[in-house]
A and B are shown apart, each in its own frame.
Chain A
Amino acid sequence: MDSLVYRYDGSFPGLMCCVFEAIARKEHPAAILPPDGDATLYPEREIVTHPVRAARVLTAIPKKISPRALRLVQYGYLTCDPRRELLVVEFLRLGFEKGGRVTGLLQDDRVSDLLKAVGHLEREAHLLTGFVRFSIQGEVMAAVIAPKNMVLPLLAPHFRSRFPADSFLLYDKTHQMAYFYQNGREEFADVEELTLPPASPEEVAFRRMWKRYYDTVAIAQRENPVCRRTHMPKRYWNWLTEMQPENNS
């Protein structure tokens, strides 16, 4: 590892430029940080995002490694691992050396660490496909989530294909990102804050019914709070209709 830190603009093409830089100069940076990342004592190098270079790396990945590797890299960028940029760079360095068989090197830390981070992202996205709760306000459905990973790009296809004729909005509070969908048109946008209008009486009635259903189907003699927390960690409860106290749901 070299005593050097890369500073990039935080975008995915920016990350690809870090890959370009690290491989071309045979450098092993100690960290790769976005603009708002921690300050370090290492000398820093600013990596300027160069669309042509990013495109070169992006086309090379499926060609020289494999399409699966490309997906891993894209997902790797979305994870919440504090070393996600390094994981991606080191994985690609190994990938360009070994070719397509890199995804089978499960005993290598450079591969297994990335797979682990991506697994966490995919599991969280899977959980949230179930835990998202839409409020219906007139014609628009809106939901707020607070995931650890950037799951919106993984959730979008699921809800797009489920509600093709509806208009909806998914807001990721952690990453201040929103996904809008209407009539086949879709858009991701940075949204700093989102305030939803108060729920209509009809909406409140259905929330109450859902909560009542949830409370009714639990079998008292089988109560098992640990099991529930394992499957549905507490950090999701804030956004679940059925976990709110009855009066303000």
Chain B
Amino acid sequence: MDLLQKLTILSDAAKYDAACTSSGVDRVPTVGGVGSTTACGLCHTFTADGRCVSLLKVLMTNVCICDCRYCVNRRSNDTPRAAFTPEELADLTMQFYRRNYIEGLFLSSGIIRSPDYTCERMIRVLELLRDKYRFAGYIHAKAIPGADPLLIQRMGLLADRMSVNIELPSRSSLSLLAPDKSKQGILGPMKLIQGGIRENRADLVQYRHAPRFVPAGQSTQMIVGASPESDLQILTLSEALYRKYSLKRVFFSAYVPVVEDRLLPGKTVKPPLLREHRLYQADWLLRFYGFEATELLDEENPFFDPALDPKCSWAIRHMERFPLEVNTAEYEDLLRVPGIGVVSARRILTARRQGKITFDGLRKMGVVLRRAQYFLTCGGRMMEGLRLSPETARRGLLAAQPPLPDSEPTQLSLFDKPGVAPWKKVEPWLPDGQNPAPAPVLALPGMAGLF
């Protein structure tokens, strides 16, 4: 099999992993080396589905001893199999890197023979890159659940970022759909990496040149829409992961049916892209805007409003906090206004030291007044010609929403009962009703108890 064929098979098998970021660490090469990284990350191209390609994302091999039902590489799936040799892959990475196709390598693998053996082969690639080619670019490596802690330690010293995918946001779904994986198998390595990063941080204080362990932190991914968890459960779990496991990112991946299985949504079901989009918006609110998961959703409304972004729907439910006076409001409160982001909030702080702020000035600073107008006053006045009630605000905001990533009519309908996710109606989770869906109760409390 030639390299082109291998690349095709092994990138095809890796594409369902959502993460493709190259952020979190600044580095320039050592003398005689090649490559650098920038903290903000860099996209090299965008695929036909609009996702950023930053790293060469491939599997070492798509041979796997596991039989996870949602996975294309499951043991029982009839698909062509291939494997890179470490030398091949390291050379290919360098060739792509020097042509500026990529920022680095994202290496994952199906489990071949045993977790330890798989891990060692991956480490071999990273060693070749770092030692033979003196490669200082970005490396994201997947921790293999069940591998020896020492191997994970070695991997962490070579990689910039590591990740262990949670995949399914609850223990019950995990045991149902990924029978070979256990909650401990996933959280174990995650904890190990977190410990390693902490220890390394202490070392770095003492010894400036101590080798750096996973300097860009760790991330994880959850599949959205393969199992019955609500947005609230997913978001609460993400929040717990950020706090308890100090993750850098939690990625969401709309479930794309690749295999027919009676436990999974059918192959005709479209991936819940809008839902994924809303979760990412909420994820940003958690990480940069000081929101908490329980502020955005609650037991009565466990799903996001498909028609309105999470920040707008929060603001409409909290009209008592508005309008804010731009000239005196705290930074934290400004951040909560729809239409104001981190950059424009900072600009407001800068500009108001020099003089009173006007609506015209806000526009020049990049505030989206179509949304923000309902929530702000400048010098005690609302924007001209604006009369306000929560109802007019909602209508106005709906009109001001940016185009949605997935414009399926069922998802945009305004006539669904609030709190019922319309995409659930496209096809029931278990069409034949043979397997009773696990009650959603166990999903979150079971998982949340772990943190």
Contact = CB atoms under 8 A, between A and B. Distances in A.
Interface of A: 101, 104-107, 109, 112, 126, 129-136, 141, 143, 158, 161-166, 205-206, 208-210, 212-214, 216-228, 230-232, 240-242
Given A104-B351, A162-B35, A164-B29, A112 B364 contact: yes
Nearest to B40: A126
Contacts of A126: 42
Contact of B42 (A130, A136, A205, A209): A130
A165 B15 contact: no
B56 A213 contact: yes
B139 to A, nearest CB: 15
Contacts of A214: 45, 47, 53
17 contacts: A105-B351, A106-B350, A112-B364, A131-B44, A132-B100, A141-B99, A162-B34, A163-B98, A164-B33, A210-B99, A219-B15, A223-B48, A224-B48, A224-B273, A224-B405, A225-B50, A227-B46
A227 B47 CA distance: 9
Contacts of A230: 50
Interface string B356-373: 011011001100000000
Contact of A217 (B47, B256, B350, B358): B47
Given A164-B29, A206-B96, A217 B365 contact: no
A87 to B, nearest CB: 14
B149 to A, nearest CB: 32
Interface in B5-53: 7-8, 11-12, 14-16, 28-29, 32-36, 38, 42-53
Contact of A209 (B3, B32, B34, B57): B3
Q: Which 10 A-B pairs have the closest CB atoms?
A: A227-B50, A107-B361, A222-B49, A218-B47, A106-B351, A218-B48, A224-B50, A112-B364, A130-B44, A232-B46
B4 interface: yes
Nearest to B364: A112
A212 B96 CA distance: 13
Contacts, number: 161
Interface centre among B14, B48, B54, B271 (most CB of A within 10 A): B48
Given A164-B34, A209-B7, A216-B7, 4 more contacts: A212-B8, A227-B46, A231-B52, A240-B45
Nearest to B6: A209
Contacts of A135: 99
B146 to A, nearest CB: 27
Interface of B: 3-4, 7-8, 11-12, 14-16, 28-29, 32-36, 38, 42-54, 56-57, 92, 95-96, 98-101, 103, 254, 256, 270-271, 273, 347, 350-351, 353-355, 357-358, 360-361, 364-365, 403, 405
B46 A231 contact: yes
A212 B100 contact: no
Given A112-B364, A162-B35, A225-B48, A130 B99 contact: no
B203 to A, nearest CB: 26
A228 B353 contact: no
B360 A227 contact: no
A184 to B, nearest CB: 11
